[in-house]
Structure 1
Amino acid sequence: MKRRNFIAAAAAGSAGIVTTSSIAQTQKKNKDFELKNNINHSVCQWCFNHLPLEEFLQTLNSLGIKAIDLIGPEDWPLLKKYGIHCSMCNGAEISLTEGWNDPKYHEELIKNYTEIIPKVAEAGYTNLICFSGNRRGINDYVGLQNCVDGLSKIMPLAEKHGVVVQMELFNQVNHPDYMCDSSIWGVELCKHLGSNNFKLLFDIYHMQIQEGDIIRSIQNYHPYFGHYHTAGVPGRHEIDETQELYYPAIMKAILDTGFGGYVAQEFIVTWEDKIGALKDAFLRCDV
C-alpha cells in the first residue's frame, strides 16, 4: 500500500474507533437513565431557573422527559417548539395569598380564569392551578363556601373546555395562614363543587409537614387528587436518603390507585450537579 493511501486508511479507521467509542459512551449514559415511565414524569421549572427555559427544555428532551409544570401562556409556544407538554398551567391566579376564599377577589379571578381556560384547551393542555388564599380571619367553613360560590362561576366553562382546575394544598410552615392546608378541607371543597373538573394538587412535601400519613391520604382521597408534587422533608431538597420520605413506596401507592396524571419534581437543588439531582429524583420515582 502506498504511504498516502495507508495514512488515509489509518485516519479513517481511527475516526471509526472514535465514533464507535462516542456512540458507546452515549448509549451507556442513556442506559444509566432508562425510565420505565409507569409514572408520567414532570418537573417545576422554577426550581431550575438557573437555566434559561429554552435550555432547560432541551435538557428535558435529552432525558426523555416530556412535561413541565407551572408555565403560563407566554411561554407555551416555546414548549410547543420542543414538544414538551405543560402538565400544570398557571397565569390566571392573583397570588398564593389572594384567592377564592375571599369574595373581594372573585371578580378579578372570574375574569382571569374565564380568559385563560379556553386558551389552556386551545393549546392542548388540561390542568390549571388555583389557590384558596390566606384566611385573614375568615372562618374555614365560610372560606370553603366562598370558594364554592366563586369557583362555581367558572366550572361550567372548565367543563365545556375539558380543563381541570386544581387547588394546591400548602403547609402552615412555609405558607402561614393559607386556608387549603389539609386534605380533608380540600376534599370537602371538591365534594361541594361536585365537578370532575375540579381537583386537588396534592403536594407531598407540604402535606408531610402539615399532616403526615401520606400513603393513607393517597389511598383514601385519591379520586380527588389530580396532580402530585414532590420534595424532600425536611428542607424541600432532594428526595434521597437525606430526608424522611421514601418516595418509591409513595409512587407505588399512587400507581396502585390507577392514577394516570403527572407527578412533578418540585425540590430546591443543593447538589452541584443540578441536572444530576433531577435525574436521581426521576429514577427514584420511576417504580
Structure 2
Amino acid sequence: MTHADDSKPEAKPQADANWKIEKGRINQSVVSWCFNPMPVEELARVAAAMGLKSVELCDPKHWPMLKSLGLTCAIGSTHGFVKGWNHKENWDYCRERMTSVIEAAAAFGCPSVITFSGMKGDLNGPEGDETGKRNTVEGLKTILKLAEEKKVTMCLEMLNSRVDVEMKGHPGYQCDTIEWAADVCNRI
C-alpha cells in the first residue's frame, strides 16, 4: 500500500499496481465472492500476478483455469449457507452438491470443501437448537464416508448471527457459536 499525503483530509490509501509477494513463505489465498462483481477469471489473473497461491470458494468449473495460472483452490464451494443440513428437506440438495464438489476436489487436489448448518427457520430455542444439531450430524454422516475415501476435509462454517450488517452478519444462521460447531463435530 502507498499512502497519499496524510495532511490532506481527502487522502485515501491506494493499492500499488506493482505490488507482489516477495518472499512467498506464507501461502496466501483470496475468497472469490468477496470481490463480486469481479469475474473469477479476472480475480485469478490478479491473484496470480501478485503471487497468491489460491482462489478459494469458487465453483469447480473454474479450477482448470486456476491451474493454468499456477493457482489452486484451498477450499471448494458447495451449497450456500441458507439451505443447510439442519433441515432434513435440504439434505438431498446438500448431499448432491457435496458429492459433486468432493469428487471434483479429490480429482483436482483441493484439500477441503465448505459446508453449512443452514438458517434456523423454525428451529428456535433449546429444542430447535438440538434438532438442528441432530439433523446436521445425521446429514453430514451421509456424506462422511465419501469425504474420507476421497481424503477431502469437510469444513463446517461458523457465521456471526448477532450482527445485522451486510458482509458482517447472518441473523438466523444456526451454527453461530464455537460450542455449537464443536458439538456437531464431536458427535460425528
How many Å apart are 1:119 and its aligned residue? 1.3
Q: Which runs of 5+ in 2 are unaligned?
A: 1-17, 164-168
How many Å apart are 1:178 and its aligned residue? 0.5
In the alignment, which residue of structure 1 is the partner of 2:185? Answer: 190
Matched, 1:160 2:149: yes
The alpha-carbon distance between structure 1 residues 89 and 169, as it changes in their structure 2 partners (threshold 3 A), is same
1:143 pairs, out of 111, 116, 132, with: 132
Partner Cα separation in structure 2 for residue 149 and residue 125 of structure 1: 25
The superposition leaves residues 127-168 of structure 1 with CA deviations (integer Å, 9 ceiling, x where unpaired) of 111110111122111111111111001001000001111111
In the alignment, which residue of structure 1 is the partner of 2:30? Answer: 43
The alpha-carbon distance between structure 1 residues 83 and 189, as it changes in their structure 2 partners (threshold 3 A), is same
Residue 40 of structure 2 contacts residue 58 of structure 2 at CA under 8 Å; is this kept in 1? no
Give 1 or 2: higher helix fraction: 1
2:174 pairs, out of 172, 179, 182, with: 179
What is the one-letter code of the residue matched to 1:130?
Answer: T
The alpha-carbon distance between structure 1 residues 74 and 97, as it changes in their structure 2 partners (threshold 3 A), is same
Alignment of 1:12-31 (within 5 A): none
Partner Cα separation in structure 2 for residue 142 and residue 81 of structure 1: 44
In the alignment, which residue of structure 2 is the partner of 1:205? Answer: none
The superposition leaves residues 68-123 of structure 1 with CA deviations (integer Å, 9 ceiling, x where unpaired) of 11111111111111011101111x31x32110011111122222222321111001
The alpha-carbon distance between structure 1 residues 176 and 49, as it changes in their structure 2 partners (threshold 3 A), is closer
Partner Cα separation in structure 2 for residue 112 and residue 96 of structure 1: 13
In the alignment, which residue of structure 1 is the partner of 2:4? Answer: none
Alignment of 1:78-97 (within 5 A): 78-90=65-77, 92-93=78-79, 95-97=80-82
Q: Which runs of 5+ in 1 are unaligned?
A: 1-28, 194-287
In the alignment, which residue of structure 2 is the partner of 1:212? Answer: none
Partner Cα separation in structure 2 for residue 109 and residue 122 of structure 1: 20
Decide which structure has the larger Cα Rg and report it: 1
How many Å apart are 1:53 and its aligned residue? 2.6
* Off by >3 Å, runs of 4+ in structure 1: 49-52
Partner Cα separation in structure 1 for residue 122 and residue 38 of structure 2: 40
Bigger relative contact order, structure 1 or 2 (CA pairs below 8 A, ≥6 apart): 1
Considering only aligned residues, what root-mean-square deviation do their CA atoms show, in Å? Answer: 1.8
Alignment of 1:63-78 (within 5 A): 63-78=50-65
2:83 pairs, out of 98, 108, 122, with: 98
Give 1 or 2: higher strand fraction: 1
In the alignment, which residue of structure 1 is the partner of 2:22? Answer: 34
How many residue pairs get aligned? The number is 161
Partner Cα separation in structure 2 for residue 74 and residue 83 of structure 1: 16
How many Å apart are 1:33 and its aligned residue? 4.6
The superposition leaves residues 10-60 of structure 1 with CA deviations (integer Å, 9 ceiling, x where unpaired) of xxxxxxxxxxxxxxxxxxx66x853452x4211112222354333322222
